[in-house]
């Protein structure tokens, strides 16, 4: 994160004199406490400073890479997921291929009548079925999909870094984001390698606080 001149000055004051109250910092800069509040909030949120009630601000001493890793370890699936594309378990492989093209996704989630996840279909699952001699309009997807309980999933509160580790470990492209219901896991989102790549770019552009 790029700090502005005033934020750099505040950091210097706290480094040398902390713990120090917001009031005392404001006095030294000839500013009001209210003017200073946004800068103090940014410095605290970014992890440079910590605030203790009735004590004041102190310097955390964290390096740039520690702050970056703290930041990464707070990013949740919730803010970076995509809309899931689902097909019913009774649709044919042919229809699933059409859905994959129309919806422009690489992974389809297969659900039952209650929107509960029963399986996953990847591009290669559909390609594999297509090189056989069978009639694609008559094979239902539930014959060729990867089925529960072998589906790897995540919840919206999970950390993006844990999703990234699962994608690598299982050598897959996407995870369904699910919500527990009394009937099973309902699909509520989709998180893919593209979402993770976007997080990386957003981090580099300092768009994630």
Q: Where does this chain bind ligand ADP (CB under 6 A)?
A: 106-107, 120, 122-125, 146, 150-152, 171-175
Sheet of 86-88: strands edge to edge?
Answer: 86-88, 107-111, 117-122, 146-147
We find the least distance from the C-beta atom of residue 125 to ligand ADP, in angstroms, to be 5
Q: Which is nearer to ligand ADP, 193 or 198 (CB)?
A: 193
We find the least distance from the C-beta atom of residue 171 to ligand ADP, in angstroms, to be 6
Those residues with Cβ within 8 angstroms of residue 12's Cβ, 6 or more apart along the chain or in another chain: none
Q: Which is nearer to ligand ADP, 148 or 203 (CB)?
A: 148
We find the least distance from the C-beta atom of residue 136 to ligand ADP, in angstroms, to be 17
Tell how far CA 63 is from the center of its chain. 24
- The one-character DSSP state at 132 is S
Angle of CA points 152, 166, 102, to nearest 5°: 60
Q: Which is nearer to ligand ADP, 75 or 174 (CB)?
A: 174
* Residue 140 bridge partners (DSSP): 92
Alpha carbon distance 62, 58 (integer Å): 12
We find the least distance from the C-beta atom of residue 90 to ligand ADP, in angstroms, to be 18
Q: Which is nearer to ligand ADP, 77 or 175 (CB)?
A: 175
- Other C-beta atoms lying within 10 Å of the C-beta of residue 171: 6
Joined tokens for residue 136: 């694609």
Q: Which is nearer to ligand ADP, 20 or 160 (CB)?
A: 160
Point out the residue whose Cβ comes nearest to ligand ADP: 124
Angle of CA points 16, 25, 71, to nearest 5°: 75
We find the least distance from the C-beta atom of residue 76 to ligand ADP, in angstroms, to be 18
Q: Which is nearer to ligand ADP, 118 or 151 (CB)?
A: 151
Joined tokens for residue 207: 């768009």
We find the least distance from the C-beta atom of residue 66 to ligand ADP, in angstroms, to be 32
């Amino acid at each position: 994160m790029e700090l502005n001149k005033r934020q750099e000055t505040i950091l210097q004051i706290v480094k040398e004199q902390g713990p120090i109250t917001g009031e005392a910092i404001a006095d030294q800069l000839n500013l009001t406490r209210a003017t200073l509040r946004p800068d103090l909030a940014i410095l605290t949120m970014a992890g440079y400073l910590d605030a203790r009630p009735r004590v004041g601000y102190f310097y955390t001493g964290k390096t740039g890479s520690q702050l970056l890793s703290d930041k990464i370890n707070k990013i949740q699936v919730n803010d970076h997921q995509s809309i899931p594309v689902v097909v019913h378990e009774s649709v044919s492989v042919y229809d699933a291929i059409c859905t994959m093209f129309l919806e422009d996704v690489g992974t389809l989630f297969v659900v039952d009548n209650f929107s509960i996840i029963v399986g996953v279909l990847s591009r290669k699952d559909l390609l594999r079925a297509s090189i056989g001699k069978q009639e694609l309009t008559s094979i239902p997807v539930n014959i060729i999909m990867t089925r529960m309980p072998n589906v790897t999933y995540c919840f919206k509160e999970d950390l993006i870094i844990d999703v990234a580790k699962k994608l690598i470990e299982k050598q897959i492209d996407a995870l369904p984001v699910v919500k527990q219901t009394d009937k099973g896991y309902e699909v509520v989102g989709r998180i893919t390698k593209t979402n993770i790549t976007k997080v990386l770019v957003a981090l580099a552009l300092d768009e994630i606080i």
